[in-house]
Amino acid sequence: YFNLLNHLIPYYVKEGKTYLSIAFGCTGGRHRSVALINNLANYLEGKGHKLFVKHRDMNKDEIKIKSDL
């Protein structure tokens, strides 16, 4: 996916776009997808891009437990 993003991002910038969403998913959302997006974020930051990373399901079990009380 690095090659694809290296190819596409310059076109987004050229078109004046300033926001790009990239999502990864896996069962549970706390292991593989987190590792993938962290790896991608490090790569893109190294290329000079500014990022906001949100791990949607990292605290899913904690939220469920709290709501059950």
- In the predicted model, is pLDDT for residue 3 greater than 90? yes
Q: What is the mean pLDDT of residues 20-32?
A: 76
Measure the CA–CA gap between 35 and 8, rounded to whole angstroms: 22
Indicate yes or no: pTM above 0.75: no
Residue-level pLDDT at 27: 72
- In the predicted model, is pLDDT for residue 63 greater than 60? no
Name the residue among 27, 58, 51, 23 with its Cα closest to residue 37. Answer: 23
- Element (DSSP H or E) covering residue 6: helix 2-14
Measure the CA–CA gap between 66 and 62, rounded to whole angstroms: 6
24, with CB counted inside 10 A (0-12, 13-18, 19+), is middle
